[in-house]
Chains A and B, each alone.
Chain A
Amino acid sequence: GAGVSQSPRYKVAKRGQDVALRCDPISGHVSLFWYQQALGQGPEFLTYFQNEAQLDKSGLPSDRFFAERPEGSVSTLKIQRTQQEDSAVYLCASSVTSGDYNEQFFGPGTRLTVL
C-alpha cells in the first residue's frame, strides 16, 4: 500500500480532553510533516521531522501541541487540553528524503472536532 495513512480519520473530543493523532508515513521516507487545515483555509505548517529528529516546530500554535517520531517512522501529534479553536483537519505528509525538491505525499487527514 502504500500511501500515507492517518488514524483516526475522525475524532470528537470534549474541551479539555487530550487527543493523539497518528501518522504512518510511506515506508522508508525520511521526512515527515504535520499541517493544520482549518475550515475553508489552506493547510498551515506545524512541524517537521527528519528521521526521528524534530528540526522545525515553529508552526505549533501553543505548548499544548506536541509531536514525536521516536523511531523515525510513525509519528504522533498530541494535543493537550483541547480547545474549540483546535478543531481542524490535521494532515500528515512524508517525502523520500530531505531537500527542497522532494514531493510531499499527503495522508487523508484526521478531522478533529472539539465540542
Chain B
Amino acid sequence: AQSVTQPDIHITVSEGASLELRCNYSYGATPYLFWYVQSPGQGLQLLLKYFSGDTLVQGIKGFEAEFKRSQSSFNLRKPSVHWSDAAEYFCAVGFSGGYNKLIFGAGTRLAVHP
C-alpha cells in the first residue's frame, strides 16, 4: 500500500541555518511527489512537485527537493531559513488514477529561533 513517512515530528533551527526535512515513500510505480506547507489558520500551500525528469526540483520561497529513487526519498531543503518559514510541512504522494488523490505524511513542525 502507498504510504509516506516523515521521520521528524518536530525540528528547530536557527534563523539563517540550513534546513533539510526528510520524506520517504512507499509506492509501486513512479511516484508523483509533493511538498506542502501549512501555516496556522491557513490552507495547505504547494511548495514544489516532482513528476518526472530532473530529480532536483525548485519551488517557491527558496525551497528545493531532490528525488532519490534508490532511497525512496524526496527530502526538502533550504539553504538559509527565515523566521517566516516556521510552519508545518507535509510531504505527499499523488496516487495515479486519473485524479491525483494525495496521500500525506504526518508532517514535520518547523520552529525557527531568532
Contact with B along A10-53 (1 / 0, CB 8 A): 00000000000000000000010101000011111100101000
A69 to chain B, nearest CB (A): 14
Does B83 make an interface contact (CB < 8 A)? no
- A41 contacts B41, CB within 8 Å? no
- B106 contacts A40, CB within 8 Å? yes
> How many angstroms between the C-alpha atoms of A108 and B41 in the bound complex?
6
> How many angstroms between the C-alpha atoms of A99 and B46 in the bound complex?
17
List CB contacts (< 8 Å) of B41-60 with chain A.
41-46, 49, 51
- B102 contacts A45, CB within 8 Å? yes
Contact with A along B85-114 (1 / 0, CB 8 A): 000001010101111111111110000000
Known: A42-B106, A42-B107. A33 touches B90 (CB 8 A): no
> How many angstroms between the C-alpha atoms of A50 and B101 in the bound complex?
12
- B43 contacts A55, CB within 8 Å? no
Cβ of A93: which chain B residues have Cβ within 8 Å of it? 44
Known: A100-B32, A106-B44, A109-B43. A43 touches B90 (CB 8 A): yes
Interface residues on B, range: 20 to 34
Within the complex, which residue of B42, B97, B104 is in contact with A43, where a contact is CB–CB below 8 Å? B104
- A100 contacts B99, CB within 8 Å? yes
Within the complex, which residue of B43, B51, B101, B103 is in contact with A106, where a contact is CB–CB below 8 Å? B43
> Residues of A within 8 Å of B, CB-based: how many?
30
Cβ of A104: which chain B residues have Cβ within 8 Å of it? 46, 100, 102
Within the complex, which residue of A43, A98, A99 is in contact with B44, where a contact is CB–CB below 8 Å? A43
Known: A42-B90, A45-B101. A101 touches B46 (CB 8 A): no
- A107 contacts B43, CB within 8 Å? yes
- B96 contacts A41, CB within 8 Å? no
> How many angstroms between the C-alpha atoms of A43 and B92 in the bound complex?
10
A103 to chain B, nearest CB (A): 6
Cβ of A101: which chain B residues have Cβ within 8 Å of it? 32, 51, 100
Does A84 make an interface contact (CB < 8 A)? no
Q: What are 26 contact pairs spanning A and B, CB under 8 A?
A: A3-B43, A31-B99, A31-B100, A33-B102, A35-B102, A40-B107, A41-B107, A42-B4, A42-B6, A42-B104, A42-B105, A42-B106, A45-B103, A56-B97, A91-B43, A98-B99, A100-B97, A100-B98, A100-B100, A102-B100, A103-B46, A104-B102, A105-B43, A106-B43, A106-B44, A108-B43
